[in-house]
Structure 1
Amino acid sequence: MVMRRREFLTLAGLAASSVLAGGCSAGGGAPGGSLRAAFGQPVTDLDPYNAGTAVDEASLIVKRLVFDTLVRREGDRLVPGLAARWRRQGDTTWVFDLREGVRFHDGTPLTARDVVACLKRTQEVKSAQSSLWVPVKAARADGDHTVVFETDGPLATLPVNLTLLFIVPGRLVADPEQKRRPVGSGPFRVTGFTPSTSVELARFDGYWSGPPALPGISMPFIAETSSAITALRNGDIDLLWPVPPDQLPEARGDGVDVRTVPSWTYYLTWFHCGRAPFTDPRVRRAMWQALDLEEIVGRLFGAGAERMRAPIPAGVFGFAEQRPYAHDPAAARRALRDAGLGGGFTTSMMWFDATGPLARELAQTMISSWAEIGVTVRPQSIEKAQWLQRLNSLDWTMELQTNTVTTGDAAFTLGRLYTSKANRMGYKNAELDAILAAAGRETGEARRRELYGRACAIIWDDAVGVFPAALTTAYGLRSELSGFTPAADNQPDLSAVRRG
């Protein structure tokens, strides 16, 4: 196996860090005795309001350690974070009472005015989060410890959306230094960060709910999974996820436990529906009919994934099972002829390898299947930072990625990504817009479920993308760790982990 230079330096740094004295840090690294946790995607930016990484999974893992939110998710429940309690007054007013005595990492007190400034900044920056905050008309500070939100109609999802509003000092919301050395109020503070290579964190002893047990967290990015598994088995890292299903046997043993959880993470291939030939739903459906997803998913992932039955995973609120597209290459070729593409066509698909387990293999398998119906798809495997830039600027024709329904609610994915205004993949559908708007206003659970079920059907039938597989996330961890809980959103609470 050939090890990339960056991986060699990362692993060398891990080996060096293992001999640091407890409680000391070196070269901006994490203290000795820190948890060494490796996630399968690189962290490119730490600014909580960066447009490109607003919902980026790797960045969110770190942000939840460095910043606080008003509301937190624990399993299926929403629990108090910075807000000790909250209540709704009428249909359009929410009141959140903040904890007293909370301080940021720089020692300044956290107040309601900081929360208001952070909301305004989030609304100013156009990002993949933007549609979540459009219904919030205003926020105001009522004294130091009360924030009042006003919405343009009923908004049942405000508390769950607030699990994504990270709070920093109001004066720093636009400070460029937040990209590298951000100031938050979370259980850890940043001591070192090299984009796409490593994040180093140290315990914040002034944390409002008490400091975490571990002195710090080091998060290296190891691009080659086999190198990461070797590091885990050798004890150079303590935690690794996700472990690809085909490499689980390699991860087990030598003091390593493996834990799995059905996740809210899934693969999707979007078509740029505003760019020919994918403006025609017949072409999009033909691309889906060319794929034998039952065979592809079973062969590549085994027990590590299941074939998708809707545009969101089964464990997400709002899931409604749809009829799978049948594998029918002959029907796909007929559909292309009907669309005036009897001779096939050439297009391209972009992805980055670290998006998820077996990403390259999944891409190559789909590309081979499309070739059998006369569609040539040029592969574009690129770096994550470039992929994010192109994705957000709609500079692509097809793209493959994993996506995570971070909040566990269809509003986060369907309501955020598929509206005409969001314009995430050039798809516009007035009927879907109306359904999603109604779902966003609805407070009754049964009615919300019905509306999102209708949205699932439209997105599926219009073949806005191909939704191949919902993943089971496998975590490999050293057996001496305790307090670790696998998370369906791929963002486990690392602050709860301890040794022994």
Structure 2
Amino acid sequence: MTGASRAAGPPRRDFLAMAGLGATAVLLSGCGIGRAAPRGALRAAFGQPVTDLDPYNAATAVDEASLIVKRLVFDTLVRREGGELVPGLATEWRREGDTRWVFTLRRGVVFHDGSPVTARDVVACLQHTRQVPSAQTPLWATVTGAEAPDDHTVVFTTEGPLGSLPVNLTLLFVVPARLVADPAQKRSPVGSGPFRVTDFTPSTTVELARFDDYWGGRAELPAVSMPYIAETSTAITALLGGDVDLLWPIPPDQLPEVTGASGVAVESVPSWTYYFNWFNCSRAPFTDPVVRRALCHAVNVPQIVESLFGRGGREMRAPIPETVAGFAPQEPWAYDPEEARRLLRRAGLGRGFRTTMMWFDATGPLARELAQALISAWADVGVTVEPQSIEKAMWLERLNSLDWDMNLQTNTVTTGDAAFTVGRLYTSEAGRLGYANKDLDAVLAAAAAAPRGPERDALYGTACGTIWSDAVGLFPVTLVTGYGRAKDLTGFTPAANNQPDLAAVGRR
């Protein structure tokens, strides 16, 4: 039996039962999930826990679950709607020469505490986020400064041309200057977004109330309640029973339970979320690209994607999804166990080796099953992998300190632009997976400097090819996100980045 043929493994529920994952952060009882939420609140359950709300926390700077809440609580100068960049706190912006950008701020905007939003707040936020090393740091590496000539003008200066500055600014959340380093921002932050935080218990629930003085107009519903429900089966029960209004992502193997159910609508969207398995390129034997390529050849990716995800996933052809700006298709790694063994012998590992893989189950649908499929495939070529399924907070700590051999996770191209992933994660300076390539650095620097358009996309396409051929990781599947929602909700639009605009959601 080949590793690929074992990939499907037992059904998802059997895995959950074997793992003993019976505890949930919110219990389904006679009173129901979300009954503590204010009357009329939108009860929305995302598949990952929110651990922190500080927009500048290094560990959660690009954490998907935290970003969903942050986009409701904070504002940014620029927002993304579909494929377009649109005004946020900034009403307009212009580029003056190669190294200067001028943004004009919206007038009359106030924070949740009633204080006005000024250019000085934006400058303080930029300065602080540049001082806190995080997964966002590469986005701001060439921004040399920001100044506020008046209350409604912000001027950014860069080392050289930086065409990605506007799209990067969709991630610069603005808070009062006096609070940029306040520890209280982790639990009860102050922003200027359409909702304010009323209660937050990490990894359990977030409670938000509508901010009636929001510059963009009042949100449709008075509150948003976001419980974290660890078991998908429990979350689906809550959705079907009316205790949750919105649930995502629904794993592809469990969509049939929701599809066609009374009072529930199902919508799917090809997402910017994908799985990857990184190799720690600073730790032997993964310092050798021959070993990394061997492990790529050992996996029957098409069969795993089909057997586990079906219509809920698409086989990847690059280190970013095909709908992301800068995508360029690469030649898939041929499934060839004998070639994998030959490469291992060439690397002096003909007898195989032992290593580890870490992940956290809530990273995405079928994470444990995908991990087992990969581990099984590698066992067939003599590589023994110790599975390490750990709690999210510990996983984040180990990820950021490079304390791992292999790391399996999902990632979302939040901005829909290759700069967010290819340009942020794979520079030598970023050091995210122990990989350093000066030639790639030069390509990425040129891409960052180029204006949005074909030349820039081609440079990121070249970078995609280098990352793929150097086998810094295995990129198996882009996910199709399934959303389940109560039919009486209005104004809901599925989001490719898993961060739907909940402020626009209403109820019939």
Using structure 2 for the length normalisation, give the TM-score. Answer: 0.95
2:93 maps to 86
Give 1:263-412 correspondences, 5 Å limit. 263-412=271-420
Among 3, 10, 24, the alignment partner of 1:7 is: 24
1:108 maps to 115
Distance 2:479 2:31 in 1: 29
Deviations 1:299-345 (A, max 9, x none): 00000001100000000001000000000000000100000000100
Distance 1:46 1:13 in 2: 31
Would you say 1:157 and 2:164 are equivalent positions? yes
1:424 maps to 432
Among 226, 232, 242, the alignment partner of 2:233 is: 226
2:222 maps to 215
Distance 1:103 1:140 in 2: 20
C-alpha displacement of 1:7? 2.3
2:248 maps to 241
C-alpha displacement of 1:14? 7.2
Among 105, 125, 136, the alignment partner of 1:129 is: 136
2:50 maps to 43
1:33 maps to 40
Distance 2:307 2:505 in 1: 35
1:26 maps to none
Deviations 1:23-43 (A, max 9, x none): xxxxxx642210000000000
Would you say 1:179 and 2:186 are equivalent positions? yes
Among 436, 442, 459, the alignment partner of 2:450 is: 442
Q: Is the 8 A contact 2:34 2:43 kept in 1?
A: no
Q: Is the 8 A contact 1:10 1:221 kept in 2?
A: no
Change (3 A) 1:132 1:9: closer
C-alpha displacement of 1:17? 4.5
Q: Partner letter of residue 222 of structure 1?
A: I
Of 298-307 and 437-446, more deviation after overlay is shown by 437-446
Distance 1:60 1:16 in 2: 23
Among 76, 81, 103, the alignment partner of 1:74 is: 81
Q: Is the 8 A contact 1:14 1:237 kept in 2?
A: no
C-alpha displacement of 1:91? 1.2
1:22 maps to none
Deviations 1:180-215 (A, max 9, x none): 000000000001111011100000011112110101
Distance 2:365 2:24 in 1: 18
Q: Is the 8 A contact 2:267 2:482 kept in 1?
A: yes
Distance 2:104 2:32 in 1: 45
Q: Is the 8 A contact 1:83 1:97 kept in 2?
A: yes
C-alpha displacement of 1:444? 5.5
Distance 1:56 1:14 in 2: 31
Among 472, 486, 493, the alignment partner of 2:480 is: 472
Distance 1:325 1:213 in 2: 48
2:6 maps to none
Using structure 1 for the length normalisation, give the TM-score. Answer: 0.96
Of 2-11 and 293-302, more deviation after overlay is shown by 2-11
Q: Is the 8 A contact 1:92 1:152 kept in 2?
A: yes
Among 479, 489, 494, the alignment partner of 1:481 is: 489
Distance 2:156 2:401 in 1: 31
Change (3 A) 1:30 1:107: farther
C-alpha displacement of 1:450? 1.2
Deviations 1:267-319 (A, max 9, x none): 00000001000000010001011100010000000000011000000000010
SS in 2 for 1:97: strand
Q: Partner letter of residue 204 of structure 2?
A: T
Q: Partner letter of residue 156 of structure 1?
A: G
Q: Is the 8 A contact 1:191 1:202 kept in 2?
A: yes
Q: Partner letter of residue 167 of structure 2?
A: V
Distance 2:291 2:102 in 1: 48
Q: Which runs of 5+ in 1 are unaligned?
A: 19-28
2:3 maps to none
SS in 2 for 1:363: helix
Distance 1:4 1:465 in 2: 29
Number of residues paired by the alignment?
A: 490
Distance 1:422 1:374 in 2: 32
Among all aligned residue pairs of Structure 1 and Structure 2, give the percentage whose two residues are the same amino acid: 69
Q: Is the 8 A contact 2:34 2:227 kept in 1?
A: no
Would you say 1:59 and 2:66 are equivalent positions? yes
Distance 2:441 2:117 in 1: 38
4+ residue stretches of structure 1 with deviation over 4 A?
A: 1-6
C-alpha displacement of 1:11? 3.4
Q: Is the 8 A contact 1:30 1:201 kept in 2?
A: no
Q: Is the 8 A contact 2:26 2:33 kept in 1?
A: no
Q: Is the 8 A contact 1:10 1:220 kept in 2?
A: no
SS in 2 for 1:236: coil
C-alpha displacement of 1:443? 1.7
Q: What is the root-mean-square deviation in Å for CA atoms of aligned residues?
A: 1.4
2:262 maps to 254
